A and B are shown apart, each in its own frame.
Chain A
Amino acid sequence: MIPALALAVGVVLGLLVQPSVPVALQPYLPIAVVAALDAVFGGVRALLDGIFDDRVFVVSFVSNALVAAVMVFAGDQLGVGGQLSTAVIVVLGIRIFGNLAAIRRHLFRA
């Protein structure tokens, strides 16, 4: 309940404030979205498994986002930013798929 409200607050905030992303940070936006989705689906999956934990969720979200950003930043400095972005998205994408599959099994028993 509280997380749902918090999500709504975040969405409304985004719609009202309409923050603009600085050009320097724009390459990180898709990475941040994928990292956030990974944390969210991981949390939902844990919730359905009955082992959800606030602290773990918060830490996993923050560390996911940070590690992804640092990897892309380091990749940019090394000239392989695009490839590392792809690597981050592939790995997190696989986890999102796995977690979604687990959620699906929980919800539909199939």
Chain B
Amino acid sequence: MSEASRRSERPDAHVRSGGVQSAGVDASFLDITTITVDPAYVQAAARRAVGAAPGRGVGSTIALVVVVAMVGLLLVVAARQTLAGAPSAGRARQALADEARRRTARSDEMQVRAAALRDEVDAARDERLRATSAGRALAERLDRLELAVGSVVVRGPGVQVTLRDAPDVPGEEDLAGEGTVRDRDLQEVVNALWAAGAEAIAVNGQRLSALTAIREAGEAVLVDYRPISPPYVISAVGDPDAVEPAFVDSPTAAAFRTLADLYGVGFSVRRRDAMTLPAAGTRLRYARVPA
């Protein structure tokens, strides 16, 4: 006899959803879904009714207390676990951001230290070279070369170009990023400044050497693989009387004036009497002077 037909002979068990009448029936899956009261309760009640089972002992009361306390404990632990788990994704992101900030700070520190050590080495080398006349000639040549490749701090007059992202217009989202200054904007300004006769350039304090790349990762502009943020200040050392007019007349400057008018991108050029640009950390690992 199939389960279904057996059930149909006993419809009351179904309808009453497992009342006392269904005590002692076999527990199949269908019973679990329809007979919700634990048959054990019914059996225990029946045993008590005929006096076959002892009444409530102290032991079973203690067990009950322990179990109910465990239920409470379990619920609290589960609730705490759930609450603790919910913001874990946010915490992970925060931890990563903190880590990135920490590493950037450490990298800054080490760059400062590298610059100080480089100065020390240069000073020691100069001291030794100046002892002989051949050494003095070599030292002068070295100074010129270092200045040219950007591996020493330079100081001089020049111009400063400042680029800013367009301010956010309320209620208008700049989906196309037309008001945002990108890596190629900085590249164009830098190239125009070189073309205008600049002798040394730094972007937000990052000196440009022949090996420096200006590029973008995500939304951040990287100069020499270090992230910089707006406003972007491009400092160019050179003859201000030559560099400034040449840059202002360049097609690049004209293009940025248009961008400023159309999208509100910040663009300004200023003369500076004296600027100090840091050294670039140029280091060649493979290139060698041919023997």
Q: In whole angstroms, how far apart are the Cα atoms of A72 and B48 in the complex?
A: 36
Mask, A41-84, CB within 8 Å of B = 1, is: 01001100111111111111110000000000000000000000
Interface residues on B, range: 35 or more
Establish whether residues A52 and B41, one from each chain, have CB atoms under 8 Å apart when the complex forms: yes
Tally of A interface residues using CB under 8 Å: 48
Mark A residues whose CB is within 8 Å of B.
Answer: 2-3, 5-11, 13-15, 18-19, 21, 26, 29-30, 32-33, 36, 39-40, 42, 45-46, 49-62, 91, 94-95, 97-99, 101-102
- Asked whether B20 is an interface residue with its Cβ less than 8 Å from the other chain, the reply is yes
Mark B residues whose CB is within 8 Å of A.
Answer: 17-18, 20, 29, 32-34, 36-38, 40-42, 44-45, 48, 56, 60-61, 63-78, 80-81
Given the contacts A29-B78, A58-B64, A53 and B72 also touching, CB distance less than 8 Å: no
Q: In whole angstroms, how far apart are the Cα atoms of A26 and B75 in the complex?
A: 14
Establish whether residues B44 and A51, one from each chain, have CB atoms under 8 Å apart when the complex forms: yes
Establish whether residues B77 and A21, one from each chain, have CB atoms under 8 Å apart when the complex forms: yes
Contacting residues, chain B, for A50 (C-beta < 8 A): 45
Establish whether residues A7 and B69, one from each chain, have CB atoms under 8 Å apart when the complex forms: yes
Q: In whole angstroms, how far apart are the Cα atoms of A46 and B20 in the complex?
A: 10
16 contacts between A and B (CB under 8 A): A7-B68, A8-B72, A10-B73, A14-B72, A14-B80, A29-B77, A36-B70, A36-B74, A46-B37, A46-B41, A58-B60, A60-B38, A61-B67, A91-B29, A94-B32, A95-B32
Q: In whole angstroms, how far apart are the Cα atoms of A9 and B178 in the complex?
A: 63
Contacting residues, chain B, for A52 (C-beta < 8 A): 41
Contacting residues, chain B, for A39 (C-beta < 8 A): 67, 71
Contact of B20 among A3, A51, A60, A91 (CB under 8 A): A51
Q: In whole angstroms, how far apart are the Cα atoms of A90 and B29 in the complex?
A: 12
